Amino acid sequence: MNLDELKSVARAIVAQHKGVLAADESSPTIKKRFDTIQVESTEENRRRYREILFTADGIERQIGGVILFDETLRQRTRDDIPFPQLLSGRGIIPGIKVDQGAKALALHPGEKVTEGLDGLRDRLAGYKQLGAQFAKWRAVIEIDERDIPSPFGIRANAHALARYAALCQEAGLVPIVEPEVLMDGAHGIERCEAVTAQALQAVFAELDAHGVLFEGMLLKPNMVIAGKKCPRQAGVREVAEATLRCLRRTVPAAVPGIVFLSGGQSAEDATDHLNAMNAMGPQPWEVSFSYGRALQAPVLAAWQGQEDKVAAAQTALMNRCHLNGLARAGKYSRSMESTA
């Protein structure tokens, strides 16, 4: 393990203006996204769609890394260039989703734990050979009225995240550690803040116990936000303040960057929240993005699976990248959306 390399890759992903494009939807998830635009989820359609994303003009200005799915890491452009090579050639660091999904946690009804540790050491070696320089593992924590998550559910997920992160660093890959507290449900923002804090405390305790180098990892948390079904939705400033308060209490300053997931927020809200946090002044870590839906929803809507709409789809991606790049510096304003 080369510690300096891990540190420099982690820092490069969240360099000034930059964040991550999460394009690592598993086959069932990308099918769900394609269903919304009536595009069949064939291997070629998935390849073509990802090619449209990765060849959009100028996105390397705001995209420091792209997370790929196993299938995508092995696919190529029309001109026969492997996707990892295409991205690296543009100065974008290729990464790989390595978890195998959240499954029911035995004897804990309503809770999940993420699988994928068995054989992970060998898979990581293979991914590194294929050009990946970082990895992602997502833990899913649901909030329910009935004492969910339980302290054990949180601990089980934190332990798996830490085992994954240690294996990544051993293999020379930067781990993105993603404990996602879901925004489904009717809970208020206060409950989200409390659960997010518990989850992050547990995650950093386990990472430390496993010997993970904080300087060579990135954290991908949810923002602190009210559940989708909560009648009182917090405003942008309240979300930004609660999120920063929660993270400052739980995330060591040695971590180079926090790259938020969008989690079902609209593209505009995700950008606005990121902007508000950056406008609140310097933080101990880079405050950035690793958005899936918040970068891609407008692209899918513009593309519709049609070749004559590829340019419009790429423009939609470039626009979101540009606006999130501004939000990285606290220089975005909602009024910029209408002129896009």
Nearest approach, Cβ of residue 265 and ligand 13P (Å)? 8
Q: How many CB atoms sit inside 10 A of residue 231's CB?
A: 8
Q: Which is nearer to ligand 13P, 64 or 338 (CB)?
A: 64
The two three-digit tokens of residue 316, written as one number: 């939609």
**Does 178 qualify as catalytic in the annotation?**
yes
Q: Is the Cβ of residue 3 or residue 116 nearer to ligand 13P in the bound state?
A: 116
Nearest-CB residue for ligand 13P: 292
As a whole number of Å, the CA-based R_g of the chain is: 19
Residue 128 a catalytic site member? no
Q: Pick the closer one to ligand 13P by CB: 5 or 26.
A: 26
Please, which residue, 24 or 51, has the CB nearer to ligand 13P?
24
Q: At what angle do helices 267-279 and 236-250 cross, to 10 degrees?
A: 60
Q: Which of 112, 193, 220, 286 is catalytic?
A: 220
| Cα distance between residue 119 and residue 112, in whole Å | 20
From the CB of 107, what's the least distance to ligand 13P, in Å?
26
Give the C-alpha distances (Å, rounded to integers) separating 189 from 113, 153, 274: 24, 21, 17
- Identified catalytic residue from 51, 178, 180, 286: 178
Q: Give the phi and the psi of residue 275 in degrees, each rounded to 5.
A: -60, -45
The residue among 112 and 293 lying less far from ligand 13P, judged by its C-beta, is 293
Dist. CA 169–CA 79, nearest whole Å: 33
**Minimum CB distance to ligand 13P, residue 80 (Å):** 28
C-beta of 2 vs 25, nearer to ligand 13P:
25
Task: Supply the minimum distance, in Å, between the C-beta of residue 1 and ligand 13P.
Answer: 25
| Smallest distance, ligand 13P to C-beta of residue 289, A | 8
Q: What is the spatial distance between Cα 179 and Cα 224, in angstroms, rounded to a whole number?
A: 13
* Helix axes of 43-54 and 310-327: crossing angle, nearest 10 degrees: 50
- Residues making contact with ligand 13P (CB under 6 A): 22, 138, 178, 261-263, 291-294
Pairing of strands 174-181, 134-141: parallel
Encode 238-255: b = buried (16+ Cβ within 10 Å), e = exposed.
Answer: ebbbbbbebbeebbeeeb
Let me know the angle formed at the C-alpha of 265 by 261 and 269, rounded to the nearest 5 degrees: 100
- Cβ atoms of 180 and 141 within 8 Å: the answer is yes
Q: Would you please indicate which residues are annotated as catalytic (active-site) residues?
A: 178, 220
